[in-house]
């Protein structure tokens, strides 16, 4: 048995800011994917995933008491008892939505009266899906916005205008011949979402940090989203550079120590600009460059994965 495929995602803009109503832009990333499966001879990873699904099934059984969504828990438990697991190439703790894809797969297979991609996706339906997914994903890492599973489930770019205003959107056509690119840089270590969000929430208690978030971080994030969607590359890079600077100055705990100098080097040379991919602390780091060959030379010895060309 093998279920439909669900893909990873990349939050291009909006990490941390969307907690405080900044804009955000999340895109599907088809390089990694996962599906529900059963095998006669399961691997150790499959058995571990199966154990996790068993606990998740109990959590969903409790969750459906609040009428938001109903699942076929009996069928889910039968499948889990038969050894079902989530077979996934999505790296965990890398900021590309490994738990989101799993949540999307479970909703797709076991939710009653599910909202599907084929119907007219009104704002109300998108928000309802996001709320359901947020509750489901909270099982994996504390409070969840529900955006990762939403992206994985719909396989569409999602524009976040504010907490209560989200819509599916389309991206400017890629220029495959273009020198400019968005890329992923592998930090070589996993990051944990919950402790990073905890640090952020602690910092939010300080007035200076709150002001910086509003006046700099959110301002540049919103501008990046607008420029990106309008295909204004010159405007985009101006704000990405500012954003990279703001993150280096104010989000140091979220940037692995080994990357502080590389981060700074990008801003100083303009060869590339780095920003957080997800909550940080490890996993992938997002990079933007106007010349991918220059960035590759500058970041020699590091793994670069191009995800979008300008």
What pLDDT is attached to residue 1? 53
Query: Hey, what domains does the chain have and what are their CATH numbers?
Result: 6-168 (3.30.230), 181-309 (3.30.70.890)
Q: Which tokens is 83 given?
A: 């050894």
pLDDT level of residue 96 (50, 70, 90 thresholds): confident
Q: Which tokens is 211 given?
A: 């002001």
Contact 42, 75 (CB under 8 A): no
Dihedral pair phi/psi, residue 122, rounded to 5°: -75, 170
What pLDDT is attached to residue 192? 84
- Report the percent of the chain where pLDDT is more than 70: 99
Give the DSSP H or E segment for 9: strand 6-13
Residues 169, 131: Cα–Cα separation, whole Å: 19
> How is residue 161 annotated by DSSP?
E
- What mean pLDDT value characterizes the chain? 92
What pLDDT is attached to residue 164? 83
Q: What is the mean pLDDT of residues 119-147?
A: 89
Residues 53, 103: Cα–Cα separation, whole Å: 10
pLDDT at 40 over 60: yes
């Amino acid at each position: 048995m093998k279920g439909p495929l669900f893909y990873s995602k990349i939050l291009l803009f909006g990490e941390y800011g969307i907690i405080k109503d900044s804009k955000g832009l999340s895109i599907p990333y088809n390089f990694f994917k996962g599906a529900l499966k059963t095998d006669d001879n399961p691997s150790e990873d499959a058995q571990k995933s199966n154990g996790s699904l068993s606990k998740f099934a109990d959590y969903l059984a409790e969750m459906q008491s609040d009428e938001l969504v109903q699942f076929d828990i009996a069928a889910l438990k039968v499948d889990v008892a038969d050894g079902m697991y989530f077979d996934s190439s999505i790296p965990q703790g890398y900021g590309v939505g490994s738990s989101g894809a799993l949540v999307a797969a479970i909703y797709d297979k076991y939710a009653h009266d599910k909202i599907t991609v084929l119907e007219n996706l009104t704002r109300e339906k998108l928000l309802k899906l996001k709320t359901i997914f947020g509750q489901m994903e909270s099982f994996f890492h504390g409070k969840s916005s529900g955006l990762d599973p939403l992206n994985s489930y719909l396989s569409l770019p999602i524009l976040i205008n504010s907490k209560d205003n989200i819509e599916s959107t389309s991206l400017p056509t890629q220029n495959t011949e273009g020198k400019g690119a968005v890329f992923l840089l592998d930090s070589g270590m996993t990051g944990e979402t919950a402790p990073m969000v905890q640090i952020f929430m602690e910092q939010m208690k300080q007035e200076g940090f709150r002001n910086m978030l509003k006046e700099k971080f959110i301002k540049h994030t919103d501008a990046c989203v607008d420029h990106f969607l309008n295909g204004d590359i010159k405007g985009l890079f101006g704000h990405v550079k500012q954003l990279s600077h703001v993150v280096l100055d104010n989000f140091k705990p979220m940037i692995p120590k080994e990357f502080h100098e590389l981060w700074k080097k990008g801003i100083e040379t303009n060869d590339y600009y780095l920003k957080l991919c997800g909550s940080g602390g490890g996993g992938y780091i997002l990079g933007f460059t106007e010349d991918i060959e220059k960035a590759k030379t500058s970041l020699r010895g590091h793994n670069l994965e191009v995800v979008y060309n300008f």
